[in-house]
Amino acid sequence: MKTIKGPAIFLAQFAGDAAPFNSLDAMCGWAAGMGYKGIQIPAWDGRLIDLKKASDSKDYCDEIAGVAASHGLTITELATHLQGQLVAVHPVYDELMDGFAAPEVHGNPKARQEWAVDQLKRAARASKHLGLKAIPTFSGALAWPFLYPFPQRPAGLVEAAFDELAKRWIPILNYFDEHGVDAAYEIHPGEDLHDGITYEMFLERVKNHSRANLLYDPSHFVLQQLDYLDYIDIYHERIKAFHVKDAEFNPTGRQGVYGGYQSWVDRAGRFRSLGDGQVDFGAVFSKLTAYDFDGWAVLEWECALKHPEDGAREGAQFIDAHLIRVTERAFDDFAGSGTDDAANRRILGLK
């Protein structure tokens, strides 16, 4: 077995225009001061990384890795959720999704998609320069508006959507393979890959591509009432990244999974700071450890109630307390009898 690395923190939810959240160096100092050992960088945030420069220059990547190292930190991954989202966008979301892209491609879905693909390829090159092995991302979505089967979906609609999604991703996955990195899809509402079944539908269409892997985040499974522990048993060989995020689901006679269009504070299902929700992280860390996951445990903080800086501080302590240093010997070695093959055969009555 292997020991999970951590604690690490995803910087996306904390980055801003005020110090210390407006530069990589300042954020590294802030994170290290709370006890974090790793940082996951949102590849879309120019305050923290110049993705174009990182994709073109190993020297630049050495420089930003050095900034992190000067604070005792490791860069764990470059996240591309927003770029991945734009690989496939249903037209109903065009205007909303433009906000994820560079201004020069707004209002032009074809150019926006091409921009997103280029961004993902740049993230692959930058990750190779940094010695990273996985890229957390979203799949994008064409079928999501038709999630609920009313009105009745035309035969073949979903299949056509997944065929197209796979067609768009296969060249990207091949490019990732050339650069030695995995796509770690975060299974997430709003994506066509939003549970195990949809992941399998996609995986079949990309011919079980070795780079089409997973980011594990149990919070999304609490909100859709999916068994997040059984999920590890089923997909552990594909889990290449880990977001440590908590959530709770408290249905009432008025609302359930759909949330009734309520704000996050008033939804039956909502994200919480670590330890304030319902995820059994003792079981999560135990299962991942037993399955030899040796990546980083990365806090992704989202909570409608608690101040983010409090959530970040408590998150470092929470993750550190759940890391399992794996044993180097069996607990009952003290009672070993020191037998050999010949003794085993005698014990069994075999000649």
pTM of structure = 0.95
Fold assignment, 5-348: TIM Barrel (3.20.20)
pLDDT digits (tens, 9 = 90+) for 202-255: 999 999 999 999 999 999 999 999 999 999 999 999 999 999 999 999 999 999
Identify the pLDDT of residue 334: 64
Q: Are 90 and 141 in contact (CB under 8 A)?
A: yes
Query: Do 138 and 191 meet the contact criterion of CB atoms below 8 Å apart?
Result: yes
* CA pseudo-torsion sign 267, 79, 245, 204: positive
Helix (DSSP H) and strand (DSSP E) numbers for the chain: 13, 10
Q: Which residue has the higher pLDDT, 24 or 329?
A: 24
Q: pLDDT digit string (tens) for 312-351?
A: 999 999 999 999 999 877 767 666 777 788 888 888 899 7
Mean pLDDT of the chain: 96
Contact in structure between 272 and 246 (CB atoms under 8 Å): yes
pLDDT mean over 83-104: 98
Give residue limits of the domains in the chain.
Answer: 5-348
